[in-house]
Amino acid sequence: MPLSALAMSTPPKTPDAIRGTQDIFGAEAEAFAHVVETFERVRKLYRFRRAEMPVFEKTAVFSRSLGETTDVVSKEMYSFEDRGGESLTLRPEFTAGIARAYLTNGWQQHAPLKLATHGPLFRYERPQKGRYRQFHQINAEILGAGEPQADVELLVMADQLLKELGVADGVSLHLNTLGDAPSREAWRVALIDYFRDHRESLSEDSQERLERNPLRILDSKDPRDKPFTEGAPKIDDYLSDEAQDFFGKVTQGLEAAGVAFARAPALVRGLDYYRHTAFEFVTDRLGAQGTVLGGGRYDGLIETLGGPHTPAVGWAAGIERLAMLVGAGGNVAEGKLDTAIIPLGEAAEKACIALAAALRRFGLVVEMSFRGNMKKRLGRANESGAEYAIIIGDNELAAGKALLRNLNTGVQTAQPITHFGKVPLSLLDGVEFGEPPDPGTNQVFDILTNSGKKDDS
């Protein structure tokens, strides 16, 4: 059998999308874009500067800074050797790559540097609602600032963002401090001592975490761990005076800015680089994946990448999770069509293309469908919710006119084509433009005739 015949009898199978990735379209894509646009607007209010980073980095960028024992580094990274034998990793988060860029580009000269970015991240997690293998974050960092005001500014910005997205209701800020390095270490030792006494009763996962990463036991959702996590030593008993003072300034700043928060003494984050402030904005409206935004201070991270001691703080929010909240509120729709343009016959097509271009330049949302007869096209215009249709047939074309039809009232008037793109369509609606009834008193007529004159010159 010739190959071509074989190909016809067994059509090729379409490859599936990769598990944990999403193709986002329609209302969900509008909600996604709305999150990014709102973030872009808000970050400018706080003068965060935009940065773009590569999607992949040398593996060491992440393995050294996030912590070898974290879930992200130990089981979730997409790492591979490139053709030159170098180990590379698709970024599982932004912060480590931003710290690398800060050092390799000499961005220290801009310190304190406020940076914002957004884009895709990759983690080999078990996919479920709100948790994907390729997901997207909006991300904000302040590098080279050790002052608690930086923590406050980031939190106030996060709070404003959620309010402007209209999703703040039912989302609460959980705030903790992990103390400075000595406080955190003392707490870690106390947690190991405490959990060791209950080792046999803990879940297998927590037994494993015990020596490697005991703070993570506090985060366990396993009911077997719950009775012990509640009675575990609290960071407050190990905080140095300095760490306490720092945290006090953060909470006072939030109070001054009117940002509500709840103290969450067992809040630890999934990445190891955090010191001092750690926080999450959490909701119960998204099921199990209820953390929409998380972050904190990471004063030691830049040193682990070979840089000088550089205090820094930041946060990231999952765009998909925020978009789900935005979508649930029903407050984002695909853009509304103002005007449908309908050419009748080939000769009118060109005039309609010119007309559509003029109206779009004037700022109207215009669509000119590519095919169909008058009835079909008018039907589609009506369905789209457009306010107006503009129709050009042979007769109109010969007279240099177009029909403006108000799709709500059905009123239709013939307008010189030169009228369009100069005034809002509502001013032409239902008006027959002959001689002005009282020259000089009809403003629309003035605009149209004056701009007509300019065109002629």
Which residues of the shown chain bind ligand HAM in the complex (CB under 6 A)? 93-95, 123, 125, 130-132, 135, 137, 139, 141, 270-271, 291-296, 298, 314-318, 320-321
In the bound state with ligand HAM, the residue whose beta carbon lies nearer, of 129 and 350, is 129
Minimum distance of ligand HAM from residue 39's CB (angstroms): 13
Q: How far is the CB of 186 from ligand HAM (least distance, A)?
A: 23
Cβ proximity to ligand HAM, 130 vs 166, nearer residue: 130
Task: Identify which of residues 72 and 404 has a Cβ nearer to ligand HAM in the complex.
Answer: 72
Separation of alpha carbons 69 and 75, rounded Å: 9
CB of 125 to ligand HAM, least distance (A): 5
Judged by beta carbon, residue 120 or residue 393, the one nearer ligand HAM is 120
CB of 292 to ligand HAM, least distance (A): 5
The encoded tokens of residue 277 equal: 């402030």
Task: Report the residue number, 130 or 265, with the smaller CB distance to ligand HAM.
Answer: 130
Which residue number, 253 or 343, has a Cβ lying nearer to ligand HAM? 253
DSSP string covering 175-242, please?
A: EEE--SHHHHHHHHHHHHHHHHTTGGGS-HHHHHHHHH-GGGGGG---TTTHHHHHTSPPGGGT--HH
Within 10 angstroms of residue 309's Cβ, the number of other Cβ atoms is 9
User: CA nearest 105: which of 159, 49, 157?
Assistant: 49
Query: Shortest CA distance to 309 belongs to which of 298, 318, 317, 320?
Result: 298
CA-based nearest residue to 18, from 162, 124, 89, 167: 124
Taking Cα atoms as reference points, which of 95, 58, 454 lies closest to residue 270? Answer: 95
**Closest approach of Cβ 130 to ligand HAM, in Å?**
6
* CA angle, residues 316, 162, 246, in degrees to nearest 5: 60
Q: Which is nearer to ligand HAM, 315 or 420 (CB)?
A: 315
What is d(CA 30, CA 332) in angstroms, rounded to the nearest whole number? Answer: 7
Tokens 């304190």 — which residue?
Answer: 112
Q: How far is the CB of 24 from ligand HAM (least distance, A)?
A: 13
**Gap between the Cα atoms of 420 and 428, Å rounded:** 9
Distance in Å, CB of 95 to ligand HAM, minimum: 4
Compute the least distance from the CB of residue 268 to ligand HAM, in Å: 11
Nearer to ligand HAM, 35 or 259 (CB): 35
Smallest gap from Cβ 260 to ligand HAM, in A, equals: 19
Cα–Cα distance between 450 and 437 in angstroms, integer?
Answer: 17
In angstroms, rounded to a whole number, what is the distance separating the alpha carbons of residues 348 and 184? 75
Shortest separation between residue 2's beta carbon and ligand HAM, angstroms: 48
Q: Which is nearer to ligand HAM, 228 or 279 (CB)?
A: 279
Output the CA–CA distances (angstroms, integers) from residue 415 to 213, 286, 351, 427, in the order listed.
Answer: 75, 53, 14, 12
Q: Which two tokens stand for residue 288?
A: 């199990």
Q: Please say which residue, 278 or 407, places its beta carbon nearer to ligand HAM.
A: 278
Q: Which helix (H) or strand (E) holds 338?
A: none
